[in-house]
Amino acid sequence: MTNPRIEFCGEWYDVADDEPFYIGRDADLVIDENPFLHRRFLAVSRENGLWWLANVGTLLSATVSDDSGQVQAWLAPNARLPIVFPTLNVLFSAGSTTYDFAIHSGSEYFATSQLTSASTGETTVGPIHLTTSQRLLVVALAEDILKQNSPGRGEIPASADAAARLGWTQTAFNRKLDNVCDKLDRHGVQGLRGGRGKLATNRRARLVEYAVSTRLVDADDLILLERNAAEVEAAASAGAEPDESAETTGSITPS
């Protein structure tokens, strides 16, 4: 069994098999000096013939997925899971910043298969389908992360900034965010709702983590933002306003 290696921001870190490898603000792998990040948040260690990823923090959770995005788990505090894929992608948020790194183990104990493929060769992951405006919202929130060429860090914009990026009102943005979170919650995605039906305060971060880790959106979707910006600008020049209730990108309602 080969020892795993961790990739973060273009750098590689070797994991020894005689002691845990810690990841956090003050650890073997220093993610960032972000005060919202635990000093020791995650740990990679070997036990009973397997490598494990454990959440040793007390507040933050991590989203973990295989390289295909078909298998995804939410790693809560005090939880752990075996590293059974050749590549394991880990995303988590601390404050307004989302981080991601990859664990390369070289061993495959569990394999995924492509279940749903289109005639073009593209693969649809999972049963969740977003409307055009819902996808646009998710891409706007995940834009900085989707632009990264290698695992690292990205900022999640505030709702007001994301709404302005899309040319939407704050009210329209919040309504669509509610709709997306409700849809994913009904599909069993954890972390998007608080107790007694109250939406979790960190739902934007959790939404981005899930969408990126499961390939619900990817870098190819960034073109949607450019198209939307062009259509919003054209609408403004023509004296029209974007129809924020429409489900097609850039639909225009005359003023």
pLDDT band for position 106 (cuts 50, 70, 90): confident
Residue 124 pLDDT more than 50? no
Output the pLDDT for position 3: 92
User: Quick one: tokens of 52?
Assistant: 């494990």
The pLDDT of 170-193, averaged and rounded, is 91
pTM: 0.75
Output the pLDDT for position 202: 81
Cβ 11 vs Cβ 106: under 8 Å: no
pLDDT band for position 251 (cuts 50, 70, 90): very low
Residue 245 pLDDT more than 80? no
CA distances 137 to 57, 163, 170, 177, Å, are 30, 8, 12, 7
More confident residue, 229 or 119: 229
Residue-wise pLDDT for 64-77, tens only, equals 999 888 888 999 99
Q: What are phi and psi of 63, to 5 degrees?
A: -100, 130
More confident residue, 198 or 8: 8
Q: Break the chain into its structural domains and give their ranges.
A: 5-104, 132-254
The pLDDT of 147-159, averaged and rounded, is 88
User: Quick one: tokens of 71?
Assistant: 């298998």
The pLDDT of 200-219, averaged and rounded, is 88
The pLDDT of 208-221, averaged and rounded, is 93
- 31-40, 143-152, 221-230, range with the lowest pLDDT: 143-152
- 27-36, 201-210, 222-231, range with the lowest pLDDT: 201-210
d(CA 87, CA 83): 9
Residue-wise pLDDT for 155-179, tens only, equals 999 999 999 999 999 999 999 999 9
Architecture of the domain whose range is 5-104? Sandwich (2.60)
Cβ 173 vs Cβ 137: under 8 Å: yes
Output the pLDDT for position 249: 39
Q: Indicate the average pLDDT of the chain.
A: 85
Q: What are phi and psi of 36, to 5 degrees?
A: -80, -10
The pLDDT of 209-230, averaged and rounded, is 93
Output the pLDDT for position 61: 94
Output the pLDDT for position 127: 58
